[in-house]
Structure 1
């Protein structure tokens, strides 16, 4: 049984995230066609798993056994987020080089990069990332910005990975153009089963491995599952675009949970 913010997902509305096959990995036109069709690219093994696990060890080495929230936030926002290790991880050649190749120009990495940690058993509204599409938070720049979601370690479905609403970007693009979607930066809903019915679409899930990356458009609806495993779920989401496109200036500061975005 899969849940998100306590809502039980309908098994009839579940599907499997589609992996980009090896034969398409270096075919840029095919990848762009796939991204336009599906709204995401699931690239297994794009990163070296040991590099991913090394960053996970670094993170938990600093966090340690900190349980007091103020102390945790001090380490996260004072050391890890602005740290050179995190910056190097997000701009490593396997990532930056891929975006440079795919975008066909100089890539730009937004400074606001997010790390999400979810402990086993955390549940209820506000725990897991609610359904949303990224453009509602990035209206000050290009709508061609691409997000990369990276599980920092093994992330089976039970650990609460990201789930995507199948081909939802097509409707979002149409609704955006018609002005039917709300403009304030906000999640759409925590009710994933209800949204699947509204969109007549499946939530796509999979077991992620260290080294996997999912790249999605700014219009693709996604959310997170609850962590019902016995291990900590850790991930990061970062955003790249072409450097010569309009850039949202609000996203050029280090992420903080009180930055208003």
Structure 2
């Protein structure tokens, strides 16, 4: 098998908060048996690496069914009489299914309702913890070899997200914003939970943008010199937008920097690794099959070296500051 998987190269348009995201190009996927030296070189050059078939496809699909069955309870997210694994959207008002936290609040929506409550609880559900632990163990050896981690470890805190057709996507950001209590040495493994069409709301990556993310962080650090230590590491300090975004408008952001956005047609079993400074977002889910996009973000570090200790708390994520007040007290900031 060729290490680089051939895909169509025509450009396409996606839709974001600011309108049409023009001339989006295709992210290049690599097979899992590609020599690790080649994968490492590509990651270092691009700041992102899409690996096909790293995880067991059936395991991922089973988890998709577990998650969608859970969040559907009382929320009517799924089309009646359909298989939860398929994840076919009911067609109800997409605003009912915006994830809890900063994006929802920025839209003027109440941070409540059956979907919001189920989404929060899903982060500590036993079936999610089991899935996360299983795939993390599957990945740790691969991650250790790829990134030269002496003691690769998946941080306990993670993110679990979904996006229904029509729903606004994830704003523009880079992950070190949320991990700045440690050095920029973590790696995010973005795991599509089920197949995600090119226009299905999967992550989009700004081309070779880890230099831009690094420049932003340097500028934020200079502006924060007079801040307290606690505020310096916050993703939502006085220098930042609510939620720690760089921009809600991925369309204009890409134009401002003169960089292309890249996207893939992701499948269950794939993993996309990205650098903590790589800038990414997601477009509006325009699935032709009305499929709900589900994904989870796992963060890996070298446990033998310094890292952001806040991410050892299982449930509450600094990327979703409003989750803390919704989780059981023992799982939130007071844990």
Specify whether residues 88 and 181 from structure 1 end up closer, same or farther in structure 2 by C-alpha distance, changes over 3 A only: farther
Please give the residue correspondences for 1:136-215 in structure 2 after superposition, counting only pairs within 5 Å: 136-177=177-218, 185=235, 186-215=244-273
1:179 Cα offset (Å): 5.6
1:6 Cα offset (Å): 4.8
> 1:149 is paired with a residue of what secondary structure?
strand
> 2:29 is paired with a residue of what secondary structure?
coil
1:128 Cα offset (Å): 1.1
1:135 Cα offset (Å): 0.6
**How many residue pairs end up in the alignment?**
252
Residue 232 of structure 1 aligns with which residue?
A: 292
| Cα deviation code 1:192-247 (max 9, x no counterpart) | 22211222110001211111110000000000111122121111111011001212
Specify whether residues 182 and 97 from structure 1 end up closer, same or farther in structure 2 by C-alpha distance, changes over 3 A only: farther
> 1:226 is paired with a residue of what secondary structure?
coil
Residue 33 of structure 1 aligns with which residue?
A: 41
Residue 135 of structure 1 aligns with which residue?
A: 176
1:170 Cα offset (Å): 2.0
1:180 Cα offset (Å): 7.8
Residue 155 of structure 2 aligns with which residue?
A: 110
1:63 Cα offset (Å): 2.3
Match of 1:19 among 23, 29, 39: 29
| Cα deviation code 1:33-55 (max 9, x no counterpart) | 21110001100111111111010
Residue 42 of structure 1 aligns with which residue?
A: 50
Specify whether residues 83 and 175 from structure 1 end up closer, same or farther in structure 2 by C-alpha distance, changes over 3 A only: closer
Specify whether residues 220 and 255 from structure 1 end up closer, same or farther in structure 2 by C-alpha distance, changes over 3 A only: same
Q: Distance in 1 between matches of 2:14 and 2:37?
A: 35
Q: Distance in 2 between matches of 1:179 and 1:114?
A: 24
The TM-score, its normalising length taken from structure 2, stands at 0.69
Conserved 8 A contact 1:113-1:237: yes
Q: Distance in 1 between matches of 2:223 and 2:22?
A: 26
Residue 83 of structure 1 aligns with which residue?
A: 125
The TM-score, its normalising length taken from structure 1, stands at 0.87
1:81 Cα offset (Å): 1.4
Residue 7 of structure 1 aligns with which residue?
A: 19
Specify whether residues 188 and 179 from structure 1 end up closer, same or farther in structure 2 by C-alpha distance, changes over 3 A only: closer
Q: Which runs of 5+ in 2 are unaligned?
A: 1-12, 76-95, 97-111, 225-233, 236-243, 325-332
Conserved 8 A contact 2:183-2:307: yes
1:7 Cα offset (Å): 2.3
Residue 223 of structure 1 aligns with which residue?
A: 281
> 1:55 is paired with a residue of what secondary structure?
helix
Greater shift, 99-108 or 34-43, is seen at 99-108
Q: Distance in 2 between matches of 1:43 and 1:76?
A: 27
Specify whether residues 85 and 178 from structure 1 end up closer, same or farther in structure 2 by C-alpha distance, changes over 3 A only: same
Match of 1:255 among 283, 303, 316: 316
Q: Distance in 2 between matches of 1:121 and 1:171?
A: 29
Specify whether residues 182 and 35 from structure 1 end up closer, same or farther in structure 2 by C-alpha distance, changes over 3 A only: farther
> 1:189 is paired with a residue of what secondary structure?
coil
Structure of greater Rg: 2
Q: Which runs of 5+ in 1 are unaligned?
A: none
